[in-house]
Structure 1
Amino acid sequence: MKISTKGRYGLTIMMELAKKHGEGPISLKSIARSKDLSEHYLEQLVAPLRNAGLVKSVRGAYGGYILAQEASTITAGDIIRVLEGPISPVEIMDDEEPAKRDLWLKIRDAVKDVLDSTTLEDLATYEGEGEQDSYMFYI
């Protein structure tokens, strides 16, 4: 399974909202500027996150977005499923050889376990060594 920019940037939006949770609404413009991303693209990504009940929009001059739930209750899996769809490395065919089918299911379950056991709070408060993108899971 390859996570596209939709999933990666969606996690970025959510992590930034989690880091600033309780400070009021955060504009997509400020996130785009701080992460050197396209504001227009972030606008496209935040709509499904809002529709899924993960973020709320606040209108007005000082508006923006806030988390709709506590960061500890939102998982990376929640975000990835909204933006990428079901988590599966391959489409499993009905006539798949049993050994291969079992392998695909084990891989799917391992990826799901990592995504579903990693909360937004975990990601937002992670202070790893080295570069900021060094957060890595090994399956």
Structure 2
Amino acid sequence: MRLTTKGRFAVTAMIDLALRQDGGPVTLAAISQRQQISLSYLEQLFGKLRRNELVESTRGPGGGYSLGRKAAEITVADIITSVDEPLDATQCGGKGNCGADGSRCMTHDLWAALNVHVLHFLESVTLQKLVDEQHALGFEIEDKPATKRAISSTPVVKPIRVNAPNSVFALGALAVK
């Protein structure tokens, strides 16, 4: 069995979202910045999470994502399977045709049993449990940074407007007058 970055990033992003959703919808750009995950990659993951009703989106100013269900009702298995992450340690995808001649290989039952145990474990871990662990480790939501204002500390210097001819021809025209 292998857990790729798709599953890891989805779980990480969901923990980030769950930790901060009390302050309103959370933007993917903010999650991307905090977790160092590509914004376009998060958009793909959250599209799948939304289709599986694990998150809800809010459009417009102040929009973003919030959990589609309570954190205690979302398991790590839900998240991983929502982003199409296979939870299968067998070489055959559970079909039993993993042997050299297309029959069941000698270790098929071992890997199939591992699949069952891993799935049961991931189903037993809720998003709320992961959030509670972060709080127990001392996690605190950072204060929102003050909004950057477009006011510069240096005064704006206006260009000097010179009322002078800008070419030899304009100079000649002034001389003729």
Confirm or deny: 8 A CA contact 1:18 1:71 kept in the other structure.
yes
Give the deviation of 1:63 after TM superposition. 0.4
Q: Which has the higher helix share?
A: 1
Q: CA RMSD in A?
A: 1.7
Give the deviation of 1:86 after TM superposition. 4.0
Alignment-derived partner of residue 102 in structure 1:
109
* Superposed structure 1 runs of 4+ greater than 3 Å apart: none
Q: Distance in 1 between matches of 2:33 and 2:86?
A: 30
Alignment: residue pair count: 128
Percent identity among equivalent residues?
Answer: 36
Alignment of 1:63 onto 2:71:
no
Alignment-derived partner of residue 134 in structure 1:
none
SS of the residue aligned with 2:34? helix
Give the deviation of 1:27 after TM superposition. 0.2
Alignment-derived partner of residue 118 in structure 1:
125
Q: Distance in 2 between matches of 1:109 and 1:7?
A: 18
Question: Structure 1 stretch 84-93 or stretch 74-83: which is displaced more?
Answer: 84-93
Confirm or deny: 8 A CA contact 1:17 1:66 kept in the other structure.
yes
Aligned-partner residue type, residue 96 of structure 1: R
Confirm or deny: 8 A CA contact 1:19 1:125 kept in the other structure.
no
Alignment-derived partner of residue 73 in structure 2:
73
Q: Which has the higher contact order (CA 8 A, sep 6+)?
A: 1
Q: 1:84 to 1:3 in 2, by over 3 A?
A: farther
Q: Distance in 1 between matches of 2:64 and 2:76?
A: 22
